[in-house]
Amino acid sequence: MQANLRKRALKDALWLIVAGVMFWVASYQLDLFDRLVAFVENHESWELDEIILAALSAGTMGFIYAARRYSDLKVETARREAAEQEARWNADRDSLTGLFNRRYLEDYLANVPEDRRLSVMMVDLNGFKKINDLRGHSIGDRILCAIADRIRSVRPDIIATRYGGDEFIVLLPGEDPTGAGVVATDMLDALDAPILIDGEEYRIGAAIGLASMPHHSTEASRLVHKADLAMYQAKRREESSFEVFHPWFLTDVEEAASSEQQLRDAIRDETIQPYYQPLVELENGRIVGCEALARWFREDGTQVPPSTFIPLAEKLGLIDELFESLLRRACMDAKEWDERVTLSFNLSASQLDDVALPYRVASILSETGFLPSRLELELTESTFVQNAEVALDTIVQLKALGVRIALDDFGTGYSSLSQLARLKIDRVKIDRSFVMQCMADERSMSVLQAIVALSQTLKLATTAEGIEQNDQYLELQRAGCDLGQGFLFSRALSPSDFQDWLNRMAVPDEKNMLRAAV
């Protein structure tokens, strides 16, 4: 736009100069000035000399005026050009780090010719999210800026872009996988070095994925996806590392997509079912309840463990649907049993974020007619670490329904004894690993006894998980633990097997309980 204006002004000036020169030549040839003077003298009464003088002075002023406007135009043009340049810079840049942004990257990749050599490096930071959550966004932002400076400084000819929160994409024009690997090593060294902010050291590593053209694709825009797949392979390792794309990484994705579809189908078709593992009163061997555990048997008879499909359901946002379907069926099954038998049901940590959870539970209870006092929901300790406030609120609401709350897997890493007092829970489930350890050394046994004693002081019931041996059973009984659960009594049973088990256990003693164990 500015260039056009300048062109037009120049054209105008040229035309005027040409016209002026032609007029001057014509005047010279025709002796126009002398003729004019003679004409003015001959017509003295017309006052032509004054008129000509006025026209000359108006012309000079006009010239000065035009020159000044021209200089203003130049200043304005320069200002606009600077503003345009700034707008272009902003449109292409990430406002926090000043690196190129995703829009620029996509434009760039869309215009790379097929025969060009180019490597794409996907850089994903390790542990950044944790620091951001713990230390706040302002520290997080400063770390990202420091990281951006380091990425920039690895090589002057790279094109560094911020792709998302803590993801960066670096373009290496002209590099093949070998050359890109050298840059990746330098990049990891730069990113592994501690970052000092306000006197505190932060260690942020990275996982890097590399893909190159024409080696891995002749389309530049597909390289990002391939570098991403390679990055996920690198991320599997604990330490910072890089990985170059390999076609078999695609198979992983296909497998993931297929297990995702299988899980959706299994939830829809209710192939995933609740099985029931008995809960036994340690003092007298009476069966008082059971824990519902999700079981998924594929058509070929193989079993998918809950440790695989529960996290997948959480990741895919299917956990609420799975929870509702399983709880509904468990409540229906449990209605058939002796009404003193309780039902324990696991909740995933992510479910505690859902403010509608108490309503979901309430509606299933009223729909199935199952007594809330027979239901105990199990939460893991990690839930309280992640969302303490929301979890507290949800617990209060669930308890208002008359449902009891147990803290599952107690002793597995997040334990904070002060939480036991703060949380409105009814039961502590001592983790299996603790029960196993307690037989191996005396100190573990003392810790276990202390947990039971502390729970008793806090008026919390206790359940020991994973009892496999008779001596564990006896020790826990001696320690005063209320309930026990484990393979010694039974594994999780299908609804009909559990019903049979209950019937057989109607008048239990320790011996026939052990005989009945599957």
Residues 389-418: x where in contact with ligand C2E by CB under 6 A, - otherwise, as a string: -------------------xx---------
CA–chain centroid gap for 417, Å, is 30
For residues 104 and 88, what is the distance between their CA atoms, to the nearest angstrom? 10
For residues 303 and 293, what is the distance between their CA atoms, to the nearest angstrom? 13
For residues 412 and 292, what is the distance between their CA atoms, to the nearest angstrom? 21
231 vs 492, which CB is nearer to ligand C2E? 492
Size of interface with ligand C2E, in residues (CB under 6 A): 23
- Residue from 466, 497, 504, 508 touching ligand C2E (CB under 6 A): that is 466
Map the footprint of Mg ion across residues 405-424, applying CB under 5 A.
Answer: 408-409
150 vs 429, which CB is nearer to ligand C2E? 429
CA distances from 117 to 100, 104, 211, 357, 404 (A): 20, 19, 11, 53, 63
Question: Please, what's the b/e burial string for 410-436 (b: 16 or more CB within 10 A of its CB; e: otherwise)?
Answer: bbeeebeeeebeebebbbbbbbbebbb
| Residue 174 binding partner per list ligand C2E, Mg ion, none, with a CB distance cut-off of 5 to 8 Å that depends on partner kind | none
CA proximity to 291, closest of 412, 381, 406, 391: 406
126 vs 490, which CB is nearer to ligand C2E? 490
Helix or strand holding residue 11 (H, E)? helix 2-30
217 vs 348, which CB is nearer to ligand C2E? 348
CB of 153 to Mg ion, least distance (A): 48
Residues 262-281: x where in contact with ligand C2E by CB under 6 A, - otherwise, as a string: ---------------x----
Residues 416-455: x where in contact with ligand C2E by CB under 6 A, - otherwise, as a string: ----------------x-----------------------
Residues 319-348: x where in contact with ligand C2E by CB under 6 A, - otherwise, as a string: -------x-------------------xxx
Map the footprint of ligand C2E across residues 368-387, applying CB under 6 A.
Answer: 378
- Residue from 306, 372, 480, 508 touching ligand C2E (CB under 6 A): that is 306
Q: Which strands make up the sheet holding 118-125, listed edge to edge?
A: 159-162, 167-173, 118-125, 206-213, 241-244
- Cis? peptide before 156, omega within 30° of 0: no
Map the footprint of Mg ion across residues 337-396, applying CB under 5 A.
Answer: 346, 378
For residues 21 and 34, what is the distance between their CA atoms, to the nearest angstrom? 18
Helix or strand holding residue 64 (H, E)? helix 48-92
| 492 near ligand C2E (CB under 6 A) | yes
CA–chain centroid gap for 63, Å, is 66
| Chain contacts with ligand C2E (rule: CB under 6 A) | 277, 293-294, 305-307, 310, 326, 346-348, 378, 408-409, 432, 465-468, 485-487, 492
